[in-house]
Chains A and B, each alone.
Chain A
Amino acid sequence: MSILEVKNLSVILGNKEILKDISFSLNEGEILLVIGPNGGGKTTLLKAILNIIPYSGKIYIKQGYKLGYVPQNLENVSNLPICVFEMFKFFTNASSKKVEEIMEFFKLREYKDELFKNLSGGLKQKVLISISILKDSKILLLDEPTNNLDVSAQNEFYRLIKELREKYGVSFIIVSHDIGIVNSTADKILCLNKVMYYHGIVKVDEEIIRKLYQSEVKIILHDH
C-alpha cells in the first residue's frame, strides 16, 4: 500500500531546471534507494518532499505518516553547544522509557552527555535518526548517510536500517552512491539525473547505469 506518492514533480531553482516530471511511489515498509550522479537532483528531491523548497506537481503523503530527515554533511552542522540528551529532551516529546530504548538500540548511552558537534559523523547520524524515531516519523529521508563511513560501518549501518524497519515499522528513502548494496538492502530503486531513468523493483543492469552516469561502468553486485 502506498504511503507516499510523487506525481509529475518538477523543481526549478533560479532559472535552472533541477528536476523534471518525476513520478514514483513508496509502499509501507519499503526501502527506496535513490541513485544518480552528483548534481542530478537527489538532494533536491528530498527537499521538495520535505517542503523545504518550492516545487510543482503533487506530493501525496498518507495521513498520519510523519516524515523524518537526516541531512547530508553533518560535519559543520552547528555551533550550538547542545548535548545528545538535550536533543532528545528539546526536539522530541518522547517518554524517558522510549529515549532509553532507542539509546540502547543505537548504543548511544555513553555519549548522552557529549556535545553533538563533537561526535563522529556516524554517531551524529544515529542521534538524528533516533530523534526521528522518537518523533514517531514513519518515513525517513536520509541524504547520503554512508558517505563518511568505512566499509564495515556501512554494512553495520544498513543492518541497523533493516532492523529499524522491523522494530518500528519505518520506511526509507535513501539517497546514496552505494550501488553495491542495492541487491541486499533496497526494495526499489530510483535512478535520477534531472529526469527519471528508472523506477521500480531492484533490477539495475549496466545499460541503465551507463545511461544514468553517462559513462562505462561495470556493476559488481555483492551481498552482505
Chain B
Amino acid sequence: MIISAIIFGSIISLVLGILSFFVVSRNLEFAGTGISHAVFGGLAIGILLNINPLITATIFSIIFSLLIVESSNKQNENTAIGVLYPFSMAIGIFILSKFSKNYQDIWSYLFGNIFLISKFDFFVFLVYSVVIVFFILFRFKELVLIAFHKELAISNGINVKLYDYLFFIVLSIGIILSVKLLGVILSTAFLVIPSAISFRLFKGIIKNIVFSCLISLSFTALGIVLSYLFDLPVSSTIVIMASTLYLILSLFQLRGKHS
C-alpha cells in the first residue's frame, strides 16, 4: 500500500511542481483556491447522482475555470471568484451533509487520502498527468511569454485567450489530482509552496521548474513515509513541513536584508 501511495504521490507532486511554477509566476494563487473549492461542489454532486465524483468534479472545475478566464478582463475578477467559490463549497457541504450517509467520504475529500486509491482513480490520474505535462512541454515557449507579459504575447501573434482557456483547464485537472493527495482544503498548498520556496533560492525558469518539482516530490515522499510510520495524517504532515521550510527561508532572507 505504501509503495503504490508513494508512486502515485510522486507522479502527482511532479505535475503540481510544474503547475506551481506558472501559478506563482502569474500570481494565480487565489484563482487556484477558487477552483479547488469548485472541485468540492463537483465531487458532492457526483456522490448525490451516483456518478464517479472525479468526473463531476472535472466538469465542475472546468466550467468554473472558464468563468474565471471569461471575467479576467474585467476589474471584478477577484470578486467574482470570491463569490463563486464559497457558493460551490456550500453546495458541496449542503449535499454531503443532507444526502451522504458516509462521513468518511466528506472527510477523505476535504483532507485527502492517498492510501485509498481505486484502479479507476489511478487510470484517470495517469491520463490527467500525461495531458498536463504534454500541454506544458509542447507549448512551453508560448506559456512562458504569456506569463511574462500578456500584451507582448498578443503582439507576437499568440492567441492569449485561447491559451488561457487551455491553461485553466489544465490547472483545474491539476487541482483534481492534488485533491486526492491533499484534500480540497489543502490542495492549493502544492500549487503555491514548491515554487514559492524555489523562487527564493534560484534564478532562471528551468532551474525553478526543476527545483519546484524536486521540492514537492521530496515533501510528498517524506510525508507519506512519516505518516505511514507514525500514523500521522498525510496531507497536513506534508503541508506543515513544506510551509515551515518556506517560513524559515523567508525569515532567514529577511534577516539577511536587514543586517
Interface residues of A, Cβ cutoff 8 Å to B: 47, 50-52, 67, 69, 71, 77-83, 86-87, 90-91, 113-116, 128, 135
Contact = CB atoms under 8 A, between A and B. Distances in A.
B155 A67 contact: yes
B162 interface: no
B147 interface: yes
A69 B152 contact: yes
Contacts, number: 67
B145 A91 contact: yes
A50 B141 contact: no
A50 B151 CA distance: 9
Nearest to B144: A90
B67 to A, nearest CB: 21
Contacts of B148: 77-78, 80, 82, 87, 91, 116
Interface stretch (B121-129, B198-206, B232-240): B198-206
B98 interface: no
A14 to B, nearest CB: 11
Interface range on chain B (Cβ under 8 Å from partner): 20 to 34
B117 interface: no
A114 B25 contact: no
Contact of A69 (B144, B147, B155): B155
B257 interface: no
Contact of A50 (B24, B26, B154, B205): B154
A71 B151 contact: yes
B155 A86 contact: no
A90 B208 CA distance: 15
Contacts of A52: 151, 154-155
A118 B8 CA distance: 38
Contact of A86 (B147, B149, B152, B204): B204
B149 A78 contact: yes
Interface string B129-157: 00000000000110011011101101110
A81 B207 CA distance: 9
A79 B155 contact: no
